[in-house]
Amino acid sequence: MVPRIHRRGNSFKGALGYVLHDPGKDTSERVAWVMTQNIFSEPEQAWFEMFDTYRNRTALKKNAGIDPRGRDNRTPVLHYTLAWHATDRPDAEHMKAMALDSLKALGLSEHEAVIACHSDKEHHHVHVVVNTVHPYTGKTAPLKFSKLEFSRWAEAYEREHGIHCEERIKNNERRREIAERRKAEREQAAFALLTGKEPPEPSPFEPVNDNSPNRRRWFERKEVVDKMKVLRTALDLQHKEERTTTWARHVRGREGMEAKTHAAMDDMRAQIKEEYKPQWRELYRHQRREQRHVREVATHPLERAVFLFKNRTRLGDRGKPLGLRQMVPYILSGKKLKSRVEQIHLRERRALARDEKTRTKQYADAMWGSHRAAFHALRDRQAAERAAERAHQNLERKDITFARAKSELIREADELAANVPKAPKGPWRGLRFDQAAKPSTPPQSTTPAEPQRPRPDAAKILTGGLQKAPPGIPGAPSKAPPVPQPKSPAPKSPPPPVSHSFEHAVKPGTPSAKEEFNKAADPEVQKKAAEEKSRREQMQKDLAKLRRRRPRDDFERER
């Protein structure tokens, strides 16, 4: 058995709503049975009674003569579960007895509690919701060592009914050894104080079941757990859509079957109506002929007597023919005879209608009986299909384990490392502005490139080789100042003038500096460059963060 105490809360209605119903629904398909303790109302309304006890805790303390001062109870709801092993098959009476025994082990046997058994898992388990406020004294139950008491109680239960958890027995044995050692140390310290000796140093604290990881491993585990929660949430949404689709399909199937039955009923009624049409036609023809005879022929008492004698059986009551004394009023009065004939006609029409209705009802009962049997078979088949679907979805959800979430994180880290480009070498790790703004392939100029002219000789310009400054240089004087010229055997002819304009200062076939500047200053180009730069920097930061938080060696070792 695995007892588990959940986090304390303050909502009785929320806790009982989860325990007594299906998750997120008003149905109770997973609830096998429910029982209450120290509660007079029904389980659905037990939350109000428990809340009323908690609300009047101060008045209950005053009535019981208890000092109401002290720390107030802000979390009165205690919720815990008792789960048996999958191989154990306890019955309802055994689970109820163990739930009550667990309340007694925690000292809550006099408190209000609701116990419910769920059947939505492979293993049997019971939910217990307890009000920690006493219903008569208003005091809060002391639950300081509730987990330790639960562990000892579960150990005693497993020793009696079969052990499934060896680690619990080892831990409790170790706790008992530590408690005995501390008791002996306290006795030695007390004896040393009495004898005036130096008390021995107490042994350091030794945790029995300390599985707390360090900070790095805790973050790694938390990241894997978060990934597992994300995967399960996505799978739950998919399963919910599948269940909704299955339910809609089942509803359409039931509605289709009911529509077919109604159509068959309409056909049956129409067929019976067509079958009784000749009888109704003959009846109305006979009645009209009889009414005409009574109105036109039987005007004399003798004619009325003859008519009554021939139809004395039809005109009698309850199948008895008319007697002579009964015929006299009708013979003497034509109005009474006409009224009697109308009554008989009405009785004949009602009899025929009753016959038709009885036959229709017989066919309808037979058809609805077959429909009911087919509907129950369809309902059971659909319920079995939904149960199989839920079982399959539970298996799929169980497949999302800690190891699978870790493998998913490793795969995502490998994909991220493969997609991130290598950082450029050198002091600059990011992209420079000119690299981001400069296009990879410069546009080809449509104008024909001019032939490159020879550049002027700077020494000759300085020494006066060229008397005039090259055209196109702003601010240059028209005449150069006189410079003493060295004697040379033969003066050389000056080189042809070269244009130093801005347009011809670049190589032919490449975009000019002015075009590059205009393109770099374009807002769209700057925006794209900034986005590319931020994206690359963010990818590099994520990769560095991932490497710091989860070294690759640990993942390779745990694969």
Over range 307-330, report the average pLDDT.
84
Report the alpha-carbon distance of residue 330 to residue 312 in Å, rounded.
Answer: 11
With bands split at pLDDT 50, 70 and 90, how would you rate the model's confidence at 15?
A: very high
* Range of lowest pLDDT (53-57, 368-372, 425-429, 499-503): 499-503
The three-state DSSP-derived secondary structure of 14-38 is HHHHHHHCCCCCCCCCCEEEEEEEC
What's residue 480's pLDDT? 44
Domain boundaries, the chain: 2-164, 220-310+349-399, 429-438+506-559
Report residue 558 as tokens: 């745990």
CATH number for the domain running over 2-164: 3.30.930.30
pTM over 0.75: no
What's residue 286's pLDDT? 92
Report the alpha-carbon distance of residue 549 to residue 216 in Å, rounded.
Answer: 7
Task: Output the average pLDDT for the chain.
Answer: 80
Per mean pLDDT, which of 298-307, 413-422, 525-534 is the most reliable?
298-307
Report the alpha-carbon distance of residue 337 to residue 327 in Å, rounded.
Answer: 9
Give the residue among 76, 10, 17, 79 at the shortest CA–CA distance from 46.
17
Report the alpha-carbon distance of residue 553 to residue 216 in Å, rounded.
Answer: 14
Residue 442 CA to its chain's centroid (Å): 54
* Range of lowest pLDDT (42-56, 331-345, 391-405, 543-557): 543-557
Which comes out higher in pLDDT, residue 273 or 210? 273
pLDDT at 500 over 60: no
pLDDT at 397 over 80: yes
Residues 81 and 125: beta-carbon distance below 8 Å = yes
pLDDT in tens, 64-101: 999 888 888 999 999 999 999 888 888 999 999 999 99
pLDDT in tens, 47-61: 999 999 999 999 999
Q: What is the dihedral of CA 193, 194, 200, 202, to 10 degrees?
A: -70
Whole-angstrom Cα Rg for the chain: 51
What's residue 465's pLDDT? 44
Residues 202 and 531: beta-carbon distance below 8 Å = no
What's residue 351's pLDDT? 92
Which comes out higher in pLDDT, residue 482 or 40? 40
pLDDT in tens, 254-308: 999 999 999 999 999 999 999 999 999 999 999 999 899 888 888 888 888 888 8
